[in-house]
Amino acid sequence: MKSGIMFFIMAVNISPEYLKAQKNNPRLWYGRFRIKIAPITKKIRQFLRDTTPEPKSTPAAECHITNNLETQASHFQEHGWAFVENIFDQSFYKELIKYWPKRYWLEPPTKITKNYDRGMAWSYGEPVPESFKYHPTVKKMLDYLRTEKFQNRIKNFIGKDKDFVSYSFAMHKSYPGTQVVPHRDGIYNNDLAQNVINVFFFVNGNGGKNAGGLTLTNDAMGDDVIFEPTNLKNSCLIYDSKAPFYHGFKPMRLGRYRWSIGAQFLEKDFVEKQ
């Protein structure tokens, strides 16, 4: 199943001109440096994880995704994307911020085309990793996304008479010099799936332009912008990887940070045929 998820999210339709234009962008210097030192960073982070004690208690708030989700359903059904603000209720949101994993729970980047720290990842058919034991708040979120109830909310949100399953989950930390080169996902070219739903939570970030807001564009150069999220606190971009637009963001500027969680929902029939 691992090869499945890697194929689905693999970036395709990247523009060589875009890569050429960004080659000497000074904002990418720190991103390249982090890739260079990634082997050392990985070893240090593994040591820190190995020596972290398990938490003794579980925070109180339950994961609650507000009905603001449903208010954007018609926008999604018309355009193939929607932006939802105040996606979590305040009590869960506060705990998600408070118990956000320390950086060493994520792995450093290894490629410049998508160079954020990423970890706490789960995908369909796999057991929930040990790392979630140390982060009960995050585990509650993953558990909720996998419930029948939330999968039904996604089904209604998409508005087609077909079931969806929670397929993947991963957390990210981004910083100055992080970029995602505009691309489509590999599954864009797979005719067996009609809708591949990405629910991309912006948990925390100072926001504004060029601050890591995953941007939808009509072109691979990232210039013809459909939508750039600038509120990166407790918001969420939902988009269909089968829609014709590209997604990505230009190298983040100095002083910017972004915490995010990506979750993917696939058609149940499609997943069961894999």
Residues engaged in binding Fe ion (CB under 5 A) = 185
Q: How far apart are the two ends of the chain, measured CA to CA in Å?
A: 8
Give me the least distance between CB of 215 and Fe ion, in Å please: 12
Closer CB to Fe ion, 13 or 46, in the complex: 13
Give me the least distance between CB of 137 and Fe ion, in Å please: 26
Taking CB atoms, the residue at the shortest distance from Fe ion is 185
**Token couple for 71:** 């208010």
Give me the least distance between CB of 229 and Fe ion, in Å please: 15
Give me the least distance between CB of 271 and Fe ion, in Å please: 18
Give me the least distance between CB of 184 and Fe ion, in Å please: 7
